[in-house]
Structure 1
Amino acid sequence: MGIFKKLFRKKETEVEEKVEKNNIPIEEDNILIDEESSKKINLFKSLREKLFRTREGFFGKIKDIFSGKDVIDDGMYEELEELLVQSDIGMDMTMKIVSSLEKEVKKRGLKDPKEIYEVLRLVMEGFLIKENNELDIRDGELNVILVVGVNGVGKTTTIGKIANQLKKEGKKVIIGAADTFRAAAIEQLEEWGKRAEVEVISKEQGSDPGAVVYETISIAAAQKADVVIIDTAGRLHNKANLMKELEKINNIIVKKIGSERYESILVLDGTTGQNGLSQAEMFNESTKLTGFVVTKLDGTAKGGIIFSISEKIKKPIKYIGVGESIEDLRKFNAKEYINAIFD
């Protein structure tokens, strides 16, 4: 609770200074500022609650390693390596984390293992990409978001939630249902279109996905829309077919908007572990990814895939999914995520 008290006290001080300087009534200004602070704090508390399984599972075990030791030795680091690998962080990322941790511990001259947990927090945060974590949406031009991912990861739902958020931000959004292989995907997008009050362009099942993309962008340009979100098929006959289809869609987008500047986002299921990393590598070959959405993080006690992606693919995470409601698709913030999973 210490951090919350500090935040509230800081705001109280700001209010007092503002009142004294400008002779502003305390009640009105204080309410506005406290509401803003309270909202941020409640969002953080909510994120901590959503990531309970990760914090109490994997990171709880890590904390036990340090609290149960009297000296810093090789055995302690080996135990940490084993836990990191088990958490789906992956061997390469694990070795980098532990190596950086050892160097930082020596640099600080630490002797008590209990002090290492906080250092590990800083080291792991340092490996998360913090640049370009938000969608690149520019005013005055048509922005395209191509969304890819295998079936079952929450791709269609993620599209609906992003559309809803952008609509609330005042953007005119149009969705293209280019996953024409599944009637359920089209129906689900149309339902989300109704909920978010955005137009969905679709054709009958089995239609050419490229034609849907072409028509969607054409309609969006004619209506002076701000954002087009394109759903794509998550499963074709084989990898070659998938790459060919995505290459075709990429070419249509570039031709229609006259630019290679558009978002290409991969949705991953956070519970799939290293399989998610394999998916990321495959899709990155098919379409040059600009970022990720990692879903279902509330359902895993591991959560290490976020670090594997940052290390292996070198692309930012744009959103994380921590539940079923619209508000549970959160814009990714590395520091907030680290603070939520470390106790």
Structure 2
Amino acid sequence: MSFFKKLKESIAAKTEAVTNVFKEGLSKTSSALVGKVQDLITRRKKIDEEFYEELEEILIGADVGVNTVMNLIEDLRAEVKKRKIEEAAELQPILSEKLVELLRGDANNGLAMNDAGITVILFVGVNGVGKTTTIGKLAHRFKQQGKKVLLAAGDTFRAGAIEQLEVWGQRVGVEVIKQQAGSDPAAVMYDAVHAAKQRGVDVLLCDTAGRLQNKSNLMEELNKIYRVIGREIPGAPHEVLMVLDATTGQNALSQARLFGEKSGVTGLVLTKLDGTAKGGIVVAIRQELNLPVKFVGLGEKMDDLQEFDSEQFVHALFAGLIQDAETRDNEAERKE
């Protein structure tokens, strides 16, 4: 069975609504990346050095990351040699297969939940990446699953951040624990944990400050928050999710490196993927940081925050090619 056919069958087991969200959210990246690959294959029927050079440029242009692209091209060369491939068209499913492997990795994409009590999830990331929106959408997701959710406004350095989280709390129908702007973030977390215990909450979602310009202070604040939460709920926080804006491309990768080194990040959320043609950054981040991408933001609607699924991601990118492959298979079957 061809790779595209296997991929389609694997996707068929998932809901059509989710598949459509991925397709719509990744349409810009699909046009930029897959459209250019298709054009390359149409123009250069044969696989030669110039073909590899152009493919390299296309992948780097989609922000797949230089190191990842070099390794990917080497893998493709080895496969071409091994399978004695000469026609460029035969490389399409192999490229798709390699991307699924790169995205999947060994990491578990699922959230670590506390079966014995309150699950605490901490959010980190610079200002403007969509952190508060992500918290609101995730609160909505948990509520849909029947869980009792509480929000903690730990970004006390910006009055706007507290207000924004309150707006999301009202939209979703969950309470927000807050103090005045300028308060100690760890004190807010202490209040939030106690409120969560008293109210029988299942999930506590905690916002934190997003300033990078004063990194040592920021890390000290985070460490203090960890200590307060961990003292009140052993093993917490159960997840530390770093939120990144996919439209910033390689800059998002730099932010993840800066934060990830010291802040104990356990997973990533990539927002605004629908707004960029450089969705290849997901591959670069997954490869270079060895951190699982837990969620992706694929639109403005409440339900557009989706659990990351490597097969859905690649299926959405290569949707046009999968249709073409199906048409060819059907024609071949009719001729038989």
Q: Is TM > 0.5 for Structure 1 vs Structure 2?
A: yes
**Residue type at the aligned position of 1:93:** T
Kindly indicate whether the alpha-carbon contact (under 8 Å) linking 1:129 and 1:315 is maintained by their aligned counterparts in 2.
no
| 2-structure distance, mates of 1:305, 1:288 | 21
Q: 1:44-82, CA deviations, whole angstroms, 9 ceiling, x for partnerless residues?
A: 133212211111112211222222113211211111111
Indicate conservation of the 8 Å contact 2:26/2:279, yes or no.
no
Question: Secondary structure at the residue paired with 1:234?
Answer: coil
**1:226 paired residue number:** 202
Post-superposition offset of 1:165: 0.6
DSSP-derived class of the 1:128 partner: helix
| TM-score, scaled to structure 1 | 0.86
**What is the identity, as a one-letter code, of the residue corresponding to 1:293?**
V
Change in 2 beyond 3 A, CA 1:214/1:236? farther
More displaced stretch, 292-301 vs 193-202: 193-202
Which residue of structure 2 lines up, in the alignment, with residue 167 of structure 1?
143
- Number of positions where the alignment pairs a residue of Structure 1 with one of Structure 2: 311
User: What is the aligned partner in structure 2 of residue 22 from structure 1?
Assistant: none
- Determine if contact 2:229/2:237 at 8 Å carries over to the other structure: no
Runs of 4+ in 1 over 6 A off after TM superposition: none
Aligned match of 1:54: 29
Matched residue of 2:120: which SS? Answer: strand
One of 230, 245, 261 as aligned partner of 2:221: 245
Matches within 5 A, 1:107-186: 107-129=82-104, 131-186=107-162
Identity of aligned residues (%): 46
Residue in structure 1 matching 2:40, options 65, 71, 75 = 65
Task: Select between 202-211 and 235-244 the one with higher mean Cα deviation.
Answer: 235-244
What residue in structure 2 maps to residue 328 of structure 1?
Answer: 304
In the TM superposition, what is the alpha-carbon distance from 1:253 to its structure 2 partner? 2.0
- Partner of residue 50 from structure 2, selected from 46, 59, 75: 75
Supply the distance in 1 between the matched residues of 2:104 and 2:194 (Cα, whole angstroms).
34
Within 2, Cα distance between the matches of 1:89 and 1:179?
Answer: 32
Contact 2:114 2:238 in 1 (8 A): no
The aligned residue for residue 277 of structure 1 is 253
Q: Deviations over 1:65-111 (max 9, x none)?
A: 22211321121111111121121121111111111122222222211
Kept in 1: contact 2:119–2:236 (CA 8 A): no
Letter in 1 for 2:57: E
Structure 1 match to 2:71: 96
The structure-2 alpha-carbon separation of the partners of 1:104 and 1:212, relative to structure 1 and needing over 3 Å to count, comes to same
Q: In structure 2, which of residues 278, 281, 293 is the aligned counterpart of residue 305 of structure 1?
A: 281
Structure 1, unaligned runs of 5 or more: 12-36
| Aligned residues of 1:153 and 1:268 also touching (Cα < 8 A) | yes
The question of whether the paired residues in 1 share the 8 Å contact of 2:120 and 2:236 is answered with: no
Pairing partner for 2:176 from 200, 204, 212: 200
Pair 245,123 (structure 1): closer, same or farther in 2 beyond 3 Å:
same
Paired residue secondary structure (2:248): coil
For 2:208 and 2:294, locate their aligned partners in 1 and report how far apart those are by CA, in whole Å: 18
> How far apart, in 1, do the equivalents of 2:94 and 2:65 lie?
20
**Cα RMSD after superposing both structures:** 1.9
Contact 1:142 1:225 in 2 (8 A): yes
CA distance in 2 between partners of 1:78 and 1:339 (Å): 25
Q: Kindly indicate whether the alpha-carbon contact (under 8 Å) linking 1:250 and 1:287 is maintained by their aligned counterparts in 2.
A: no
Shift of 1:341: 1.0
SS of residue matched to 1:271? helix
Which structure has more RCO (C-alpha within 8 Å, separation ≥ 6)?
A: 2
1:85 is aligned, of 60, 75, 92, to 60
Matched AA of 1:318: K
Answer with 208-217 or 96-105: which moved more: 96-105
Q: Any conservation in 1 of the 2:121–2:237 contact (CA below 8 Å)? A: no
Partner secondary structure for residue 255 of structure 1: helix
